[in-house]
Structure 1
Amino acid sequence: MSRSQQDQFIDDDEEDEVCPLCVEEFDLTDKNFRPCPCGYQICQFCFNNIRTTMNGLCPACRRPYDDKNIQWKVISHEEMVQHKHNLAQQAKKKAAQKQKEAQKREADNLSRKHLAGLRVRQKNLVYVTGMKPKIQGDRLVEALRGKEYFGQYGEIIKIVVSKAKDASQGLQPVGVYVTFARKEDAALCIECINSNPQSEGRVRAQYGTTKYCSAYLRGETCNNRSCMFLHEPGEQNESFTRQDLSS
């Protein structure tokens, strides 16, 4: 015979209402059960388990349990009625708490629905347009991470290169998304690129935007450690609809 073991928290005012060994709530008979003269109180399930499968000693004073020392209290009718009333009140309280939590989850999910169509300006993400690289693939990404390109501005988390629309037309401009570890490095990158006279305005940089993680929008935990989407509310003044971005 065994009881399922689960992690849980108990309130300070409930500490004396649970068995210190299995952390299960005392029933009415347990509350009136004293198996040891030292006064250390445990439930009858744990008492029987100690007596039959363990060393038979009180966990508190290490005294052997003896039937002649066990104290029982006969439960009166009034006590039984009061106990049932208390159980009903506790059940009512727990039901109200569950309902409150469910309403909160529903409200949170509703508040997130409007976020699905928003894009949020990400201050550590730089979007660069107008670049015409002569190399492609992994070699290009490796070069862009180097000190001659974006690596000179700070630590880079990720680089994404958008493919040219028509690669058959020779060197075509591509878009590059650079995610920096620090917002300050992203700001420096944008400033340096846009103020570089050699680019003659062909290469431009701005803050990139990102969307909310689909798991976050569903109120779930995202298990993708490499997910680059948002998992918390963005700033209101940094959020835009697609119409805002296209206008």
Structure 2
Amino acid sequence: MSRHNNNNSREVKVCPLCISDLSASEYDFYPCPCGYQICSFCFERIISEFTKCCPLCRRPYDEDAVSRVGPQYRPVPVVRPPPEKKPEPSGFIISKKMVQIVGIPQRYLQTSLLIRRDYLGQYGVIKKIAIYSNEKIPFRKQILQGNSSVYVKFKSQYEANLCILSLNNFNLKGEQINASYALTEECSEALQNKNCSEKKTCLKVHKKNTPTKIQFTTEEVERKADRFINALRIDVPDHYQNYPKRSFGTSLFPPPRIIPPPNGNPHFLITNIFNSEDPTLLDLASFPDAIPLPLPVSQSRQLCSLIDGLGLDQR
């Protein structure tokens, strides 16, 4: 025990047993290796009348300790090394499979609702989805600013593009919705070559050198370098607004437009747009390259008639 003496800069120590101040000769008297300090009077009483053990740790006292007044048993402060600093992400990454959406009204901000096929699920297969208030976003920086952000990770970049093209600048009941590629960063646990404990829900990057992830320095992000801005752009197909929309029924959000298959690959649209649902005859007639074969005879006849009526080449 100790207290401060106003008349002396030296700290006043008090015997914890008799509550008397320690004298100058007792100031460095530590009779037990555990560092429990008492006065010489209490020490003599314990040696002569009691158990001859330290009141704190019950270790037997050395009876000659009183003749060795000094710092021999003074407890040495334990110097603990500073906690190991976790490696911080060196920069930021644009993930072209992940979309950040702001502006969705609060009443619709439920992951179980947004993941449905008549909501965000109409744009593709959703691998992960999370909703964050502005102050709880786990990333150091965001592309878009808003009270709440929805982060959606799709199975492919194509599906993420559909979501952004459909939702960005969309007005929902007076609320402006904006969508963009998401800005993320490397997972701190992955940087330490550890398995992420929350990998099923963690939206940070766990793998390096993947083609859909482009890395930027903090300086590039803060000054909005041309390379950074260009990476956020999506190549919008010519006459995109004239493409027909593929609807999966009544939806809160605008349905994706049917983009012609690249290089005449018929499997592309079936996999990414129709999502195993049969396209309408108008869809098939508008884009014959996307016709899944074989078709039922009745549907084939109707399709041929529709193609003839539209003046399209069936090829």
Q: TM-score, normalised by structure 1?
A: 0.42
Structure showing greater relative contact order (alpha-carbon pairs closer than 8 Å, 6 or more residues apart): 1
Q: TM-score, normalised by structure 2?
A: 0.34
Larger radius of gyration, structure 1 or 2?
A: 2
